[in-house]
A and B are shown apart, each in its own frame.
Chain A
Amino acid sequence: MEVNHTKSQINFTRNSLFEQGYLDEQFTQLEDLQDDANPNFVEEVVTLFFSDSTRLIRNVDTALENYPLDFCKLDDYMHQFMGSSSSIGAKKVKQECTQFQECCKARNAEGCIRAFQRVKQEHATLKRKLETYFQVSL
């Protein structure tokens, strides 16, 4: 594309992600890990996260179709999901995961389904934004 993204623009994009709560401090940690030896470390990690999490999402979707819901299993999945999303600093995704876990604990099937919809939404949004960000910055 013709537009040359200036550093400030890149920074702006990045900062907005933080300000809007999509990313948190953990993402900064990842950025700090990036060095000349691994210049694309953050992108690699994020890509890995999204491929893993997409698989997890599929599993949860399947599990949510089996009635009665197996809350233990769902909780397990969500625990995994939360672990990896928090590792990359996906703040909003993590928050929605927590909501989902609350519903699991309360054995609220309806709540679980709704919460998971939100998880998926946040997940998709973040993916979009980060893809854009990486395109711009790399």
Chain B
Amino acid sequence: MAVLRVKFTKGQRDKLAQMLWLLNWVSVMTGIILFSLGLFVKVEFSKKEELMADRDFQPVLNLLIAVGLIACIINLLGGKICYDCVDTNKFLRWKLLILPYIICSFFFTGCMLVGALMCYSMQEELQESLAEGLRDVMRYYKDTDSPGRCFLKHTMDLLQIQFQCCGNRDHRDWFHIQWISNRYLDMSKREVVDRLHSNVEGKYLLDSVPFSCCNTNSPRPCIQYQITNNSAHFNYDYLTEDLNLWKRGCHQALVEYYTKLMHSTGSTGLLIWLFELSILTGVRYLQTAMENVLRQGDPESESDGWLLENSLVETARNNFNILKNLGKINQIDTATNGDPNIDKPSTAIYGNLFNIKATAQKI
């Protein structure tokens, strides 16, 4: 009792083979798209790797790239197989290879699904990683003379300019860290010494932000020092002024950007997975139809195609038995007195069929 049995005439088989050939080539293109998308995302992540603390996103990205590449190869092979399926003689060449090919492809599409779903699961880790990374970069903003950290100022400034954001959660994060290096502080001045003494850790804290926080849409020249002090600037109210600096925090800006990127990659991966699955179903139907044609002996006749020969439960049981018997290969079967030739069918199922028919006609 086969699963989803469908009858195929010769014409329908040919059409199916041609369509699958075309779809396989389209699938090669989508494989290339997935590959290049994976590559693009990898480059985007590596551009901002200083801002991401510790977490390793490489496995997911490498999986995407590998999946795209393997999809191309598998679909090239599939295209060749389908091209040959129209002619029964050429099909005989591929007969032994097709079933392993289908099984491998099935597991491979499983990998693709896993990869696509993993893209959606990255958000939590991404948020934590970015929060930590940004905090560290802001802390080391002033250390332009320490090797290994000297480019963090440049990175942070370009980030704030490019993503139009300021600080980690908002611009007030800059008030809690010392972002001006001691090299540029005049320790002989009273004001500087007072500020240093005014907090426990001896940090020079200001209510000011770096120039990269300045909003280019502001109608007035940027106010970056003494931000909370209304009397320091003419016609300025800190609470109502919202065009002066970027309002958004860089954490939120980066999380939004990378989440959007990963979600679109994941959606593309899912669509391609569905497409591959449908191609695989078509190839399975073609394989079973072609094998039944060979079994019947007449290449022009109608044949059945199916997904599984027996129902799902029976197929599972059969496969389980095969696996169980693999373990018993060295044991002798006592039921038949150790004779391996008892209770075996006298002819092979395929292969000899044409010969038998031919010999039968001769007689």
A and B together in one complex: no
Q: Using a CB–CB distance below 8 Å, which chain A residues touch chain B?
A: none
